[in-house]
């Protein structure tokens, strides 16, 4: 299996990253352990989570990190995983952002929950316009120099803000963002492709997009309003049920049939084939779901397949007047 480098860092990951957002939420601890074991045993190595997962659920913030930490302790497989987590989203009163003061608190809390001495990829979950980027860059650099973090990344950054953060780190000789985590899939293309993709390519920043399956829409199981009731995620899928979304599903049907795969596998394989992409993040709530997702890394789409998917997912351009 091809391993891909995250930017200029020495972190090498397989072309599919396991999303840990479901751990301790829609996947209980025992199920999460089975998924993590199967993922590593399947030849993959990168797991992405965040301190805020799952603050919206009864388990509360930190649940996913605690599950992963418990798995590290029970399995002894910490050295088989490239561990990525994020900070910056609100964890409680006064507990958010990218200030130097808060970053010191956040990293220690994550290390404790994860039961590890080092985080391989520590990411800004979202931009913090209230904190000078110089302060954030210096704080990240201190964490790297202290050996608590191996590399750093960004998530949900606008192109201009990512460029300025990279420039500050370069000018000051500080640790710089090695990755960007944007929203990107066959349906949600314009935000990333409009400028952020080129910034990442030009600066050798790895890209690990989230929502690679558009909240499950690209699996093909949601095709009508009635289908939305099949899952608690149905409400978030509704926006995809338009003419373009259905056109994408038809293209996925066509390509998946030709490749003897599933729509989900084709959708993720398309992301993997895009310029500058390290690999998409995808989550699973069962080993069976995971097996399907892992199959996407073994799927090879032809130029004709990619052209079919690109045509179906193209965003209409405004008419010239």
Number of C-beta neighbours around residue 266 at 10 A: 27
Number of C-beta neighbours around residue 130 at 10 A: 9
Closest to 315 in 3D by CA, of 240, 251, 244: 244
- Per DSSP (E only), the strands in the chain are 4-5, 12-13, 17-19, 46-48, 82-87, 119-124, 149-155, 177-181, 206-207, 281-282
Alpha-carbon distance of 269 to 15, in angstroms, equals 9
| Local structure of residue 276 (DSSP, 8 states) | T
Give the DSSP H/E element, type plus range, for residue 292: helix 287-294
Q: What does the DSSP assignment read for 118-161?
A: -EEEEEESS--TTS-HHHHHHHHHHHHHTTSEEEEEEES--HHH
Alpha-carbon distance of 270 to 268, in angstroms, equals 5
Closest to 181 in 3D by CA, of 221, 153, 201: 153
Decide if 222 is catalytic: no
Indicate which residue of 53, 102, 187, 240 is catalytic.
53
Active-site amino acid positions: 53
């Amino acid at each position: 299996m091809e391993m891909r480098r995250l930017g200029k860092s020495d972190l090498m990951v397989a072309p599919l990253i396991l999303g840990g957002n479901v751990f301790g939420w829609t996947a209980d601890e025992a199920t999460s352990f089975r998924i993590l074991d199967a993922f590593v045993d399947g030849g993959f190595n990168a797991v992405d989570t965040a301190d805020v997962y799952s603050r919206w659920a009864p388990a509360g913030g930190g649940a996913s990190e605690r599950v992963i930490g418990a798995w590290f302790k029970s399995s002894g497989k910490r050295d088989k995983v490239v561990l990525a987590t994020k900070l910056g989203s609100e964890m409680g009163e006064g507990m958010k952002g990218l200030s130097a003061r808060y970053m010191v608190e956040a990293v220690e809390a994550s290390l404790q929950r994860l039961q590890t001495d080092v985080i391989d990829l520590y990411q800004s979950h979202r931009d913090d316009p209230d904190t000078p980027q110089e302060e954030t860059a210096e704080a990240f650099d201190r964490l790297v120099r202290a050996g608590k973090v191996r590399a750093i990344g960004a998530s949900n950054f606008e192109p201009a803000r990512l460029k300025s953060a990279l420039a500050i780190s370069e000018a000051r000789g500080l640790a710089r963002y090695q990755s960007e985590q944007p929203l990107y899939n066959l349906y949600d293309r314009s935000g990333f492709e409009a400028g952020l993709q080129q910034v990442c390519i030009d600066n050798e920043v790895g890209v690990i997009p989230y929502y690679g399956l558009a909240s499950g829409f690209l699996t093909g199981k949601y095709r009508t309003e009635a289908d939305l009731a099949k899952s608690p995620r149905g409400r978030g899928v509704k926006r995809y049920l338009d003419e373009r979304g259905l056109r994408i599903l038809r293209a996925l049907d066509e390509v998946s049939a030709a490749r003897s795969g599933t729509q989900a596998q084709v959708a993720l394989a398309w992301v993997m084939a895009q310029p500058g992409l390290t690999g998409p993040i995808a989550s699973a709530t069962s080993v069976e779901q995971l097996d399907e997702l892992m199959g996407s890394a073994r799927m090879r789409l032809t130029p004709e397949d990619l052209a079919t998917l690109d045509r179906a997912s193209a965003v209409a351009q405004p008419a010239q007047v």
